[in-house]
């Protein structure tokens, strides 16, 4: 018996009208649906008039349930993989199953649709020719700043996800590590209370401090640009390079040459 197919189906991140005709068609055609949260997915499927067996497939049981789904696929069943919102595998469960299915020779078919990162980026006003998706940063500030230190010299636009209870501290850490860069912070995308904060990180920090914190957040930050770099940010880059093992003189030389700044000024400032 030939194996079934695994359909990776993107679902709305808020507004139900964002579901595609093809996604509805495939959800109606498959034998079963593997869902991140069966309770939430049941509401979606009911709203679409779809009745299918549901397989619970969430992050903590992903490895175990992927074997169950894989066995069903090998038995000839076709299965749709969905997450609570957006595209499976993008900071959501799904990548383990997809990898195992491909290794088993099972056809994996994408059914494209909403993705919060791309949606926010498209209206950010930041450069989109090249960008890097980071997803969620560490929850603790110390570890979060260490990760940001590794990204401080990245020239591409950076895109992050963040939970509501950490968004204020996360943006504060971005400001401290990256300096005052242009950014977008967007919440409740496509929902009734969708809101976007645009401007420099310092301005966004002030806006967030006086706003209602709710919903999931997408944060897009401009990459490092030599023509706008300040001495303070340049010194941060020097310290970041030194933490990676570079000597002070070499770190100063590299940053000074990259941005056309004075070596002596940077060296003196790096000692403060």
pLDDT digits (tens, 9 = 90+) for 3-20: 899 999 999 999 999 999
State how far the Cα of 204 lies from the Cα of 185, in Å rounded to an integer. 8
Answer whether 185's CB lies under 8 Å from 128's CB.
no
Q: What pLDDT does 224 receive?
A: 84
Q: Mind listing the pLDDT tens digit for each residue in 62-84?
A: 888 899 999 999 999 999 999 99
Q: Mind listing the pLDDT tens digit for each residue in 98-112?
A: 999 999 999 999 999
Q: What pLDDT does 266 receive?
A: 84
Instruction: Tell me the two tokens of residue 16.
Output: 């139900």
Q: What pLDDT does 255 receive?
A: 81
DSSP structure string for the chain: -----EEEE-B-SS-GGG--HHHHHHHHHSSEEEES-HHHHHHHHHHTT----EEE--GGGHHHHHHHHHHHHHTT--EEEE-SSB-TTSSSTTHHHHHHHHHTT--EEEE----HHHHHHHTS-S--SSEEEEEEPPSSHHHHHHHHHTTTT--SEEEEEE-GGGHHHHHHHHHHHH-S-EEEEEESTTSTT-EEEEEEHHHHHHHHHTS---S-EEEEEPPP-GGG--HHHHHHHHHHHHHTT--HHHHHHHHHHHHT--HHHHHHHHH-
State how far the Cα of 66 lies from the Cα of 81, in Å rounded to an integer. 11
Positions of the chain with pLDDT lower than 50, given as ranges? 227
What's the pTM?
0.80
State how far the Cα of 111 lies from the Cα of 109, in Å rounded to an integer. 7
Q: What pLDDT does 226 receive?
A: 54
For residue 140, report the phi and psi dihedrals to the nearest 5 degrees.
Answer: -90, 140
For the chain, give every domain's residue range.
6-114, 117-148+155-224, 228-271
Instruction: Tell me the two tokens of residue 21.
Output: 């005709």
> Length of the chain, please?
272
State how far the Cα of 154 lies from the Cα of 107, in Å rounded to an integer. 36
Task: Name the β-bridge partners of 135.
Answer: 160
State how far the Cα of 197 lies from the Cα of 270, in Å rounded to an integer. 33
Domain covering 6-114 assigned CATH 3.40.1010.10 in the classification: yes
CATH for the stretch 117-148+155-224: 3.30.950.10
Q: What pLDDT does 228 receive?
A: 52
State how far the Cα of 250 lies from the Cα of 115, in Å rounded to an integer. 41
């Amino acid at each position: 018996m030939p194996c079934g197919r695994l359909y990776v189906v993107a679902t709305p991140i808020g507004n139900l009208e964002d579901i595609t005709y093809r996604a509805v068609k495939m959800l109606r055609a498959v034998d079963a649906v593997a869902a991140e949260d069966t309770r939430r997915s049941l509401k979606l499927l009911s709203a679409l008039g779809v009745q299918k067996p549901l397989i619970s497939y969430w992050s903590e049981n992903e490895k175990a349930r992927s074997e169950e789904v894989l066995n069903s696929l090998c038995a000839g069943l076709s299965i749709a993989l969905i997450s609570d919102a957006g595209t499976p595998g993008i900071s959501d469960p799904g990548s383990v199953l997809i990898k195992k299915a491909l290794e088993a020779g099972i056809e994996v078919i994408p059914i494209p649709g909403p993705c919060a990162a791309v949606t926010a980026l498209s209206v950010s006003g930041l450069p989109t020719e090249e960008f890097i998706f980071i997803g969620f940063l560490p929850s603790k500030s110390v570890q979060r700043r260490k990760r940001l230190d590794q990204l401080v010299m990245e020239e591409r636009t950076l895109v992050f996800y963040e939970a509501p209870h950490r968004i204020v501290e996360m943006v504060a850490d971005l400001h401290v590590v990256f300096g005052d860069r242009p950014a977008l912070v967007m919440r409740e995308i496509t929902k009734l209370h969708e809101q976007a904060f645009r401007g420099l990180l310092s301005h966004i920090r002030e806006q967030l401090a006086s706003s209602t914190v709710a919903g999931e957040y997408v944060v897009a930050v401009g990459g490092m640009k030599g023509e706008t770099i300040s001495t303070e940010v340049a010194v941060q880059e020097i310290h970041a390079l030194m933490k990676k093992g570079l000597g002070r003189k070499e770190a100063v030389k590299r940053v000074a040459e990259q941005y056309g700044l004075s070596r002596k000024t940077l060296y003196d400032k790096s000692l403060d």
